[in-house]
Amino acid sequence: MRRTIWIIGIIVVVLLVAMQFRRPNFDRQSVDAAATLQAQLHPPAQVAEMLRRSCANCHSAQGEIPWYGHVWPSSVLLQNDIRQARGRFDLSTWGNLSPEMSRIRLLNACAAMRSSDMPLWYYRPMHPGSAPKPDEVEAFCAWAQAQPVGRNLAWLQ
């Protein structure tokens, strides 16, 4: 019985070590500086800093991958989270959005921050200080609501 447990333990350790050699692809493409949210919308300094600190790691191709992002299985989970985050709100490719979609994404981000849905609950303990302060959220929301309304979004006013 002990021998079987040892063999299973060795197999598990070998598999875990072998999985570390699979490197995730975080899609770290080069960024066109003119297409970023910063270049397109010129947010105030407080909003820009909050976006960099609270949002950029997942919602930008310029984010930093933490140490655990290179260790399986957390690397797979992180890669999946980043892919989904950029699909919803990508600070690096803001220039690809129409004015209407830009405003919709900003207002959705405002709602997510006001309801404490962003940053995600499991991101906050590993990144203390990442959650925006209430005054930062209100500054972001006021800035987002002040963005020009496209021709199809007059009903949002």
Question: For residue 127, what are the CA distances in angstroms to 34, 54, 105, 131, 132?
Answer: 29, 9, 24, 8, 12
Q: Which amino acid is at 22?
A: R
Instruction: Kindly report the number of other CB atoms within 10 A of residue 69's CB atom.
Output: 19
Highest average pLDDT, of 20-29, 67-76, 79-88, 132-141, comes from: 132-141
Domain map of the chain by residue range?
2-156
Percent of the chain whose predicted confidence (pLDDT) is above 70: 87
Span 18-32, average pLDDT: 66
- Distance, in Å, from the CA atom of 68 to the CA atom of 48, rounded to the nearest integer, reads 26
- Distance, in Å, from the CA atom of 130 to the CA atom of 122, rounded to the nearest integer, reads 11
38 compared with 74, residue with greater pLDDT: 38
Confidence of residue 19 (pLDDT cuts 50, 70, 90): low
DSSP 72: T
Q: What is the mean pLDDT of the chain?
A: 83
Confidence of residue 130 (pLDDT cuts 50, 70, 90): confident
